[in-house]
Structure 1
């Protein structure tokens, strides 16, 4: 992945550097359990090069992060990288920890709002929980992402793991913990993100 450059005055950076795509995520974006360079964010970096799109990817994802953690980290990331696009891929760990849905919603909204106020376009990556969480909870959790996207006028990937977690043979695309996708699943994850991200880079 391209190296991140040190901060510089905005005018100089605008003239010298391509726009930044900042990915703020958890283990699904931080290459947990797979080889470095095999995750969808690294694949995105190579996709941009192949498509001859002048953009630089900064992966600020941390395994285990929650929406609260992302909300706390985002202001400094916005100041440092001045991204043109912010991809927010958080919320799954909120569900795993049983955190209140209204808190998850508020954190996602605050991140989208902060990114927008900093001049960035926002892409929100939607997530779903397994059926064992219960139908009602699953529906309410999944509904948080489109609700925030509508309210904040953000772009949306409805389900980041579409074509991975919802396949009949889904277990084959997950690591032994049945939570984290294998490297073989990450091209499908990028395929879910790319159409919406490409629109924001035009």
Structure 2
């Protein structure tokens, strides 16, 4: 084999190696798994108008390779989410997991320690599976008592800090605590109506976007 032939083979191998390296360097497309309750499951809304669907529409423009899996179930608690999560992680292999649970725990008067333990377990399970985690915090009305209200809100921050997870302190910021709150809820005064969900997305979006970088 002549020197020129050897040289051509070497160049060809280097080119192939370069393409292979470029292919390996390409980031894995993001899959965002949302595990939530009725606030994320479009309860009482027309399909495609909830904040998760709106997020998917925004991602289609800004990050078209990203995929959204909405595994939210109306009425779900942190216990339900904890039991469902392992199968969801195995099936979808998400890069980002959004946990939007806890509100129904408070409505049912479940122990705060249990809620915190479930959120902790979900966060750690998702991180162990290689996903980044975003906790969507919730607040309860003042009639629950000042002490309970504070401890419930602090639960999300405590779990996020302990696991270095991302946190949105209050999912319904600008909706439940705004001057026009009454106009932003359905007749049950628990579930935001369609006009409120763009605000919810705007509250969640900066944190979600940061995890996609």
How far apart are 1:53 and its partner, in Å?
A: 4.4
In the alignment, does 2:209 pair up with 1:198? yes
1:48 maps onto 2:59 in alignment? yes
Out of 161, 167, 171, the position equivalent to 1:156 is 167
TM normalised by structure 2 equals: 0.86
Match of 2:188 among 166, 177, 186: 177
Match of 2:9 in 1: none
Q: For 2:138 and 2:160, how far apart are their aligned partners in 1?
A: 13
Q: Does 1:108 align with 2:114?
A: no
Q: Which runs of 5+ in 2 are unaligned?
A: 1-25
Runs of 4+ in 1 over 4 A off after TM superposition: none
Deviations 1:98-153 (A, max 9, x none): 00000000000000000000000000000000111111110010000000000011
Matched ranges for 1:142-153 at <5 A: 142-153=153-164
Equivalent residue of 2:97, what SS? strand
Deviations 1:69-104 (A, max 9, x none): 000000000000000000000000000000000000
Alignment of 1:82 with 2:93, yes or no, is yes
Structure 2 residue 129 is matched with structure 1 residue 118: yes
| Residue from 138, 143, 155 that aligns with 1:127 | 138
Which structure's residues are more often helix, by fraction?
2
3-state SS, counterpart of residue 29 of structure 2? coil
Report the alpha carbon displacement of residue 52 of structure 1 after superposing the two structures with TM.
3.3
SS at match of 1:188: helix
Number of equivalenced pairs: 187
Q: Does 1:32 align with 2:15?
A: no
Root-mean-square deviation (CA), in Å? 1.1
Larger Rg: 2
